[in-house]
Structure 1
Amino acid sequence: MDSNSTYIQQSVATSIVLPIIYIFLCILGLLGNILSQWVFLRKITRKTSTHMYLTNLVTANLLVCSAMPFVSAYFMEGSTWKYGSTQCNVVNFWGTLFLHVSMFISLTTLSCIAISRYATLIKKDLTQEENASLYEKIFYGRILKKFCQPNFAKKLCGFIWGVVLATVIPVTIYYSAVELSEENGKMCYSEVAECGAEISGTARLVGTAFIGFCFLVVLLSYYSFVSYLKKIRKSTSITKKYSTYCSVKRHLLVIQFLLIVCFLPYSIFMPIFYALAKSNDRQRLGHLVEIKNFLICLAAARSSTDPIIFLLLDKTFKKTLYNLFRKANSPH
């Protein structure tokens, strides 16, 4: 394949604006997530399952933040790097690996948090309902309640890391060592690097479907919660638990908001991208690639803003952080 067939023209948005955004997100994300991880590991003594999931989420956030300098360098200099150079190989492998591992870890963890928050509420109410069906007692009372147990949450997070790494690493190695070498493009920033070949392209579509699946899990949790709330609305005890219901509803809405704003645009666009990228129109391909890269940046931006979201998801984190800043500002 000649150099012209693999060349993609970069605009100012990709070569200058996007790297600046990644550097800003990297600094913001490292500061916020390091502080959050310190609070979760050192300052919160009694850890719930939610804390286990959030600690896992912070770890994934730190991973993607560490990949941002690689990605920023790729967009700034990738069109001048020769294919096969050390810079190109390092950025293609580690940047791609860190970014996708973190994305799938975050998606799965957010889904687990949604299930955990919903299961916590249902478990408490089922223990007080004598007319609960056998299905409800088994599915909600026994299966889902495990998501609320800290030990199970810790093991589940370890399992998630194992599965994601075992899935993403082989695809990334094949993409970096085989697909790119077969294409033998002249420049690092090229069509095959941005669009992938058969294996990596299929893997990206599977990953896109997984994003949609996680969104459906969160949406189903929210729908089930609202349906359950309607079911017990006539109960006199609902007023006593109103704050708890509002808290669970807020948590599910926050997670839905994250998925809709950060991940759903990328999930919707990727099938369109692969359908339109098959044409020989180089100018249109360049525009499609730029849209894809900005949507990936939007998904990565969630990792940098998560510390703010933690204030909405966990009261203990909010209270601990507030006490730390109050002590730091105290004249004594």
Structure 2
Amino acid sequence: MKIIITGGAGFIGTALVEYLLTHTEHQLLVVDKLTYAANLTELDQFKRHDKTNHRFQFIKADICDASQVQNIFASFQPNAIMHLAAESHVDRSLTDPAEFIQTNIIGSYTLLEASRQYWQQLSPAQQQQFRFLQVSTDEVFGDLADNKQNTGNALFTETNAYAPSSPYSASKASADHLVQAWHRSYGLPTIISYCSNNYGPNQHKEKLIPKAIAQLAQGLAVPIYGDGQQIRDWLYVKDHVAALYLILRQGQVGQRYAVGGNNQVTNIELVQKIADIIDAYAKEKPKQQQWPLLTTPRRNLIQFVSDRPGHDKCYGIDSTKIKQQLNWQPQYSLQQGLQSTVHNLLAKYGHN
């Protein structure tokens, strides 16, 4: 199989590429415009490790550029598209929404049109095999507390109504609607996946977990929005990418699959867990010069700051469908995933 992975230089994208290179024999083409969040180190490693197999290719391209995208389809001749390219940081969407509209909506439209035109000229057998996987987010459903009042669902499922709260989630919801319309109107074989909050090694430092690890390791304050009681469901990135490949291979065309970690905790509890892991690690390695001398637990470094606009109180995903229909199960508990992530990032900071 030949797979195009858009946004393959990002956090989830690089984890997906690593998974596919390790566990499959597919040929991969990463398409990424290399924004600030791109992981060039991981891309270079993929290139070095794949010198003999020639299964990995990379093209720097903007998915909003229709002619460039069409040329990529014509030359690579893919069997599947895994669409991860997106602007994804909520805070940035509040200050610069135009960038999110452009990439997440216009970019997705451009990619869908290129996929449709390419797919329509394939043979019937090739059309049957082709897949377009839209990787979405649970944030398109808005605040679980509000959504629950409307549906009675204790957790988000694939049937929840869309009710996005931020420019980011609204742009992802718009892209999802386009994907569904291209399936309904043109027959393009699409599938949509929703995921809860991802975390793991190599995540960009603007996100909560790597930011908390970096600050706490240096003995610096960690800002927490509002009262810290916002609840999120945390999904280890390796569990997520395994689910994505399963959905691509076994998911039913036109269906939607929700992927969660079954790890709902408040933001304050999450950061406290990270603080405790770092304290324990520092105690094991007391002679490391990089550790700042602290007289109190790192939990005391948590600082509450003004809440951000439109901040959803609660997210949580019910993964029953993918568990029952595709036999997927997360392999990492929150404690295991956090320990792996903390130790990985501390090693990068020299605390090893």
Which has the bigger relative contact order, CA under 8 A and spacing at least 6?
A: 1
Structure with a larger share of its residues in helix: 1
What range is the shorter-chain TM-score in?
Answer: under 0.3
Using the size of structure 2 for normalisation, the TM-score is 0.25
Using the size of structure 1 for normalisation, the TM-score is 0.27
Structure with a larger share of its residues in strand: 2
